[in-house]
Amino acid sequence: MKVLIIEDEPALATNIVEYLSGQNYICELAPTFQRAMDKLSQYNYDCILLDIMLPDGDGIRLLEQIKMAGKEDGVIIISAKDSLDDKIRGLEIGADDYLTKPFHLSELAARMFAVIRRKKFGNTNKLNVGYLEIDIPAKCVSIKGKQILLTKTEFDLLLFFIGNPNKVISKGALAEHLSGDYADMFDNYDFIYAHVKNLKKKLFDAGYEHELKTVYGTGYKWER
């Protein structure tokens, strides 16, 4: 899958490229508004990561161009601006998601995974991972036709892991993913442990081999 990273901060762009490598992504970089315009006029992408604050132009205008050209590319805005107006404006113009800096790369990967799948499969978004059959819109997981009952949190976690195959994910990333604005409610992220444990147990009880591994004590990894 092709990804265009429109980001003027090279260190951040290479972070993303490096993290996504080894997964099914081919990344291209566009550090300026002009370069991004050039790329967009020539190619289509599965997903575009768009920093709206570019040195030579407003990223929102790029988004407008993409939408005016009738492109179907999924767009995730990554911005240092945590302003709701920007968020609403971006989503109204047609961005698929909005991520505020700073973010965990695993969070970005999970969001990209979701956006791309939604774009591709829409309402019939069924995902097969090994024996697992995941109906994303219905939030249903089953193995060989047998349904596994997961809580909302466990389902969220499962998708997060699947969006980050073979990556070590810290419990901090999981906690921030789950709690969002309320992450500062916690003195520690130990509550993640119980959720992951339950998820693992449910998958195991349903007869699914352990792909979800605990690493270094408190980190996790979805091995494929």
Q: Please measure the distance between the N-terminal and C-terminal CA atoms of the chain and give it in whole angstroms.
A: 18
Q: To the nearest whole angstrom, how small is the minimum distance from the Cβ of residue 166 to another protein?
A: 9
- Judge whether 6 and 59 are in contact, CB under 8 Å: yes
- The residue among 147 and 188 lying less far from another protein, judged by its C-beta, is 188
Q: To the nearest whole angstrom, how small is the minimum distance from the Cβ of residue 150 to another protein?
A: 14
Q: To the nearest whole angstrom, how small is the minimum distance from the Cβ of residue 18 to another protein?
A: 6
Cα–Cα dist 48/10, whole Å: 16
- The residue among 1 and 17 lying less far from another protein, judged by its C-beta, is 17
Q: To the nearest whole angstrom, how small is the minimum distance from the Cβ of residue 37 to another protein?
A: 22
Cα–Cα dist 3/136, whole Å: 22
**What value, to the nearest 5°, has the Cα angle with vertex 132 and ends 128 and 135?**
65
Exposed e or buried b for every residue in 2-24, given b needs 16+ CB within 10 A? ebbbbbbeeebbeebbebbeebe
Q: To the nearest whole angstrom, how small is the minimum distance from the Cβ of residue 185 to another protein?
A: 5
- Residues in the site for another protein, rule: CB under 8 A? 9, 11-12, 15-16, 18-19, 80-85, 100-106, 153, 167-173, 176, 178-179, 181-189, 191, 215-219
CA atoms within 13 A on the CB side of 54: 25
Give the sign of the dihedral formed by CA 95, CA 96, CA 102, CA 108: negative
Could you give the C-alpha distances from 151 to 34, 139, 157, in angstroms and in order?
A: 46, 9, 10
- The residue among 11 and 224 lying less far from another protein, judged by its C-beta, is 11
- The residue among 40 and 177 lying less far from another protein, judged by its C-beta, is 177
- The residue among 171 and 200 lying less far from another protein, judged by its C-beta, is 171
